[in-house]
Amino acid sequence: MTEQTVDQPFSSTHDDAQSELGTQLKSLLHHALLVFLLFLTFFPFIIAIFTSLKSFQQLLVNFWLPAFPLQLNNYVMAWNEIYRSIINSSLVSLGAVTGVLLCASLAAYAFARIDFAWRDAAYYLVLSLLMIPSVLTLIGRYLLIVEFGLMNSLWGLILPYIAGGLAFAVFLLTGFFSDLPEELFEAARMDGGTELQMYRMIALPLSRPIMAIVGLLTFLSSWGDYVWPLLVLRSPEKFTLMLGLARFTGNNQVMFGPLMAGYVIASIPTAIIIILMMRTFAGAALLGAFK
Amino acid sequence: MISWITDPLALANPMSVQTADASLDSRLWSGRRRTMRRNLTALLFLLPTFLFLAIFMYQPTINVIYHTFFRWDGFTVERFIGFGNFTKMVSDPNMHIATRNLGWFFLGWMLQRISPFLVAELVFNLRRERTKYWYRTLFVLPMVVPFLVTIMIWKFIYNPLPAIGVLNRMLGSFGLEEWQTAWLSEPSLVILALLMVSFPWISGWPFMIFYAGLQQIPSEVLDASVMDGCNVWQRMVRIDIPLVVTSIQLVAIQTMIGIIQDFAFVLIMTAGGPAKASLVPGLLLFMSAFRGDNMGYGATIGVTMFIAIFILTLLSFRYTTSPFARTRRTRET
Q: Is residue B155 part of a domain?
A: no
pLDDT greater than 90 at residue B105: yes
| Surface of B (67-96) touching A: CB under 8 A | 74
Residue B71, SS3 per DSSP: strand
pLDDT at A10: 46
φ/ψ of residue A191, rounded to 5: -80, 10
Question: pTM for this one?
Answer: 0.83
How many distinct structural domains can be found in chain B? 2
Q: Are residues B112 and B32 in the same domain?
A: no
- Taking residues B113-133, what's their average pLDDT? 88
Within 8 A of B39 by CB-CB distance, chain A residues are 116-117
- Chain B: residue whose CA lies nearest to A115: B15
Instruction: Report the candidate in A159, A90, A4 with the shortest Cα–Cα distance to residue B127.
Output: A4
Q: What is the pLDDT along chain A (291 residues), one digit of tens a residue?
A: 444 444 444 444 445 566 777 888 888 898 999 999 999 999 999 999 999 998 888 888 888 888 888 888 999 999 998 999 999 999 999 999 999 999 999 999 999 988 888 889 999 999 888 888 888 889 899 989 999 999 999 999 999 999 999 999 999 899 889 888 888 888 888 888 888 889 998 899 888 888 888 898 899 889 989 999 999 999 989 999 999 999 888 887 778 899 999 999 999 999 888 887 776 644 444 444 333
Interface test with chain A among B52, B125, B230, B250, by most A beta carbons within 10 Å? B52
pLDDT band of residue B300 (cuts 50, 70, 90) is very high
**Tens of pLDDT along B243-289?**
888 788 878 887 888 888 889 999 999 988 788 899 999 999 999 98
Q: Which of A9, A51, A227 sits opposite B127 (nearest CB)?
A: A9
Distance CA A286, CA A276 (A): 12
Q: Which of B14, B57, B125 sits opposite A163 (nearest CB)?
A: B57
Q: Is residue B177 part of a domain?
A: no
Q: Are residues B229 and B275 in the same domain?
A: yes
- Residue A260's identity, in one-letter code, is M
> In whole angstroms, what separates CA B281 from the centre of its chain?
16
- A78-286 CATH: 1.10.3720.10
The percentage of chain B sitting over the pLDDT mark of 70, rounded to a whole number, equals 85
Q: Is residue B61 part of a domain?
A: yes
pLDDT at A263: 93
Q: Are residues B36 and B120 in the same domain?
A: no
pLDDT band of residue B74 (cuts 50, 70, 90) is low
Instruction: Report the candidate in B101, B301, B309, B263 with the shortest Cα–Cα distance to residue A226.
Output: B263
pLDDT at B35: 86
- Taking residues B30-48, what's their average pLDDT? 88
Within 8 A of A3 by CB-CB distance, chain B residues are 219
pLDDT at B12: 44
Q: Are residues B51 and B117 in the same domain?
A: no
**Tens of pLDDT along A160-198?**
999 999 999 999 899 889 888 888 888 888 888 888 889
pLDDT, greater one: B6 or A134? A134
CB-CB under 8 Å, A119 with B57: no
- Chain A: residue whose CA lies nearest to B219: A1
Residue B165, SS3 per DSSP: coil
Q: Where are the domains of chain A?
A: 2-52, 78-286
Residue A111, C-beta contacts closer than 8 angstroms, at least 6 positions apart: A119, A122, A123, A170, A174, A177, A178, B8, B9
pLDDT at A17: 66
Q: Are residues B63 and B88 in the same domain?
A: no
CB-CB under 8 Å, A41 with B139: yes
Distance CA B308, CA B260 (A): 8
Which domain, by its residues, includes B62?
15-67
| Surface of A (203-222) touching B: CB under 8 A | 220
Instruction: With residue B79 as reference, give the H or E element that holds it.
Output: strand B77-80
Q: Is residue B171 part of a domain?
A: no
CB atoms within 10 A of CB A112: 25
pLDDT at B319: 65
Q: Is residue B134 part of a domain?
A: yes
Distance CA A46, CA B15 (A): 59
pLDDT, greater one: B203 or B105? B105
Q: Decide if B149 touches A, using CB distance below 8 A.
A: yes
- Taking residues B222-230, what's their average pLDDT? 83
Distance CA A257, CA A169 (A): 40
Distance CA B47, CA A176 (A): 21
Distance CA A31, CA A36 (A): 8
| Dihedral (Cα; B76, B79, B84, B88), 10-degree rounding | -40
List the Cα angle A243/A219/A245 in 5-degree steps: 15
CB-CB under 8 Å, B42 with A114: yes
| Dihedral (Cα; A144, A146, B64, B256), 10-degree rounding | -90
pLDDT at A32: 93
pLDDT band of residue B7 (cuts 50, 70, 90) is very low
How do beta strands B70-72 and B77-80 pair?
antiparallel
CB-CB under 8 Å, A133 with B260: yes
- Taking residues B137-142, what's their average pLDDT? 88
Cβ(A245)–Cβ(A263) below 8 Å: yes
Q: Is residue B72 part of a domain?
A: no
pLDDT at B77: 67
Q: Is residue B172 part of a domain?
A: no
Q: Are residues B34 and B101 in the same domain?
A: no
Q: Are residues B27 and B141 in the same domain?
A: no
- Is the ipTM here above 0.85? no
Q: Decide if B164 touches A, using CB distance below 8 A.
A: yes
Instruction: With residue B70 as reference, give the H or E element that holds it.
Output: strand B70-72
Q: Decide if B317 touches A, using CB distance below 8 A.
A: no
Residue A123, C-beta contacts closer than 8 angstroms, at least 6 positions apart: A111, A174, B9
Q: How far is CA A167 from CA A131, A143, B227, in A?
A: 10, 22, 47
**Tens of pLDDT along B310-328?**
888 787 776 654 444 444 4
pLDDT band of residue B28 (cuts 50, 70, 90) is low
Q: Are residues B47 and B97 in the same domain?
A: no
CB-CB under 8 Å, B263 with A227: yes
pLDDT greater than 60 at residue B213: yes
CB-CB under 8 Å, A245 with B149: yes
Instruction: Report the candidate in A232, A176, A233 with the shortest Cα–Cα distance to residue A203.
Output: A176
The percentage of chain B sitting over the pLDDT mark of 90, rounded to a whole number, equals 26
Q: Are residues B210 and B282 in the same domain?
A: yes
